[in-house]
Amino acid sequence: MARSPEGPPPPPTVQKLRLRYAKRGPLRFASHRDLARALERALRRAQVPMAYSAGFTPHPKISYVGAAPTGAASEAEYLEIGLARRCDPEAVRTALDDSLPPGIDVVECVEAAEGGGSLADRIDATRWRVELPGIEPAELESAVAALLAAAEVTVAKRTKNGLRDVDARAPIASASAGGAAGCAILHVVVRQVTPAVRPDDVVAALAAVADLRPPSPPRAVREAQGRLDDSGTVADPLGPDRAARARCQGEHAAV
């Protein structure tokens, strides 16, 4: 006979909250595992009433979506949490933000809309800003033009199974150059693929097509994640939840 966990089952999830948080400054070098530990400790310190999975080793119901690579800063990291009792999303945001170390900042918290689908289904692209110290904007502009004109650009990418050749060109939806003298800035929108093509892969592709090699390490910031629409805009994944909440409040006000 199968053994069952002792004690009553955990309370059910009665509310789902979706949060956008940023990792800034030195915290960009924290791994996803380290960030997850910090967030879980902060949820306990903030006394957020988490829902837990059943079984012999219950875990808080937390889902992370599309974590940025170690070394990259981000203004658009997302997670979803399940709560055992209803809470005001802004109160949760404030309490959690106060419990986190500087550099991990909870920017927004909204209630997940009923029937709105999963958060992961609303994300298929990322918009990056990549600073290239020591590179002039005109030099980057020429390299970007060469990259966009190429049908395929193969780069060596390090994966958990070792080096693998990947096409870094195909996932690039758009790219442009900007910046000032002495520091060019690459703006690039990359579709989600497997394995993921990240800023360092795009920089490697620029080196392959135009021999563009920054003398200092590039500095990447994830500016947005979301669905890529026909205009090339990366849509806000929390927008549908905000819209559903506004409709609900409008219906209540009209009653």
Q: Which of 70, 68, 64 is nearest to 31 (CA)?
A: 70
State how far the Cα of 117 lies from the Cα of 122, in Å rounded to an integer: 8
Q: Under CATH, what is the fold of the domain 123-226?
A: Alpha-Beta Plaits (3.30.70)
- The domains of the chain are located at 15-121, 123-226
Are the CB atoms for 56 and 24 separated by under 8 Å? no
Q: Do domains 15-121 and 123-226 have the same CATH topology?
A: yes
C-alpha–C-alpha distance, residues 147 and 174, integer Å: 10
**Residue 4: Cβ within 10 Å count:** 10
Q: Return the CATH class of domain 15-121.
A: alpha beta
The one-digit pLDDT tens for each residue of the chain (255 residues) are 445 556 667 788 999 999 999 999 999 999 999 999 999 999 999 999 999 988 778 889 999 998 899 999 999 999 999 999 999 999 999 999 999 999 999 999 999 998 889 999 999 999 999 999 999 999 999 999 999 999 999 999 988 778 899 999 999 999 999 999 999 999 999 999 988 999 999 999 999 999 999 999 999 999 999 999 988 899 999 999 998 877 766 655 555
